[in-house]
Amino acid sequence: KQEVTQIPAALSVPEGENLVLNCSFTDSAIYNLQWFRQDPGKGLTSLLLIQSSQREQTSGRLNASLDKSSGRSTLYIAASQPGDSATYLCAVRGAGNMLTFGGGTRLMVKP
Amino acid sequence: GAVVSQHPSRVICKSGTSVKIECRSLDFQATTMFWYRQFPKQSLMLMATSNEGSKATYEQGVEKDKFLINHASLTLSTLTVTSAHPEDSSFYICSARDSSGRRNEQYFGPGTRLTVT
């Protein structure tokens, strides 16, 4: 059974810092990996999707990497802003074409 | 990107009543839709997977007679919480997969906050 772990569970940084969120998964047989953002009481917004054949994806200040063989992905946020404060969820699509979510990282960027 | 809507966004009901939540894919056809449940400060837990025109597949521990799912068209799935109790209070999120796309991506609705009093 696929298990997805996100570290840290919570993170508080001052505005302007570059930061890295970590995601690990136990079964490397995945189709793709997605990073989502969730604001309090809201649904999920897809940030980046990395196919299993890809190593990284970039969108603006966000960069996600994927090392499938080691079961790891990182989400890099450059020059963090207070508006980046949210919960970031990592999810992998694996056997049965199903998404398995990590527990999330709650990010607070202080002005 | 593709849009998934949910209605209502928030509902308060009395214990023992039933509540229906609608999930619609607005600009694509979704042969598969998913229903998730999320408790405060926790991640999403998959409740069931519904395929258009067939019975939903429920995850272990989810009562199919309590959480009725209907996926009658390629753009609409409904979740009915029957005889709701306070412990059913939660945030329910639906998701739809655009199977026609190469990316095989899932899109999520904005969620429905259910409070059972």
pLDDT at B42: 86
The dihedral sign for the CA sequence A49, B71, A101, A72: negative
Closest residue in B to A33 (Cα–Cα): B105
Q: Enter the tokens of residue A104.
A: 């999330």
Mark yes or no for CB contact A32/B104 under 8 Å: yes
Best mutation target among A44, A93, A101 (most B Cβ atoms within 10 Å) is A44
Out of B1, B44, B111, closest to residue A42 by CB: B111
pLDDT at A74: 98
Does the CB of B76 have a partner CB in chain A at under 8 Å?
Answer: no
The rounded distance, in Å, linking the Cα atoms of A31 and A16 is: 34
Per-residue tens of pLDDT for chain A, all 111 residues: 899 999 999 999 999 999 999 999 999 999 999 999 999 889 999 999 999 999 999 999 999 999 999 999 999 999 999 999 999 999 999 877 789 999 999 999 999
pLDDT at B95: 94
Instruction: Please compute the mean of the pLDDT values over residues B56-79 and round it to a whole number.
Output: 92
pLDDT at A98: 85
With bands split at pLDDT 50, 70 and 90, how would you rate the model's confidence at B28?
confident
User: Which chain A residues contact residue B37 at CB under 8 A?
Assistant: none
The rounded distance, in Å, linking the Cα atoms of A80 and A106 is: 14
Mark yes or no for CB contact B43/A89 under 8 Å: yes
Interface of A with B in 16-75 (CB under 8 A): 31-32, 34, 36, 41-46, 49, 51
Q: Enter the tokens of residue A44.
A: 């999920």
**pLDDT at position B114 over 70:** yes
Lowest mean pLDDT among A104-108, B8-12, B48-52, B89-93: B48-52
With bands split at pLDDT 50, 70 and 90, how would you rate the model's confidence at B29?
confident
The rounded distance, in Å, linking the Cα atoms of B38 and B25 is: 21
User: Which chain A residues contact residue B39 at CB under 8 A?
Assistant: none
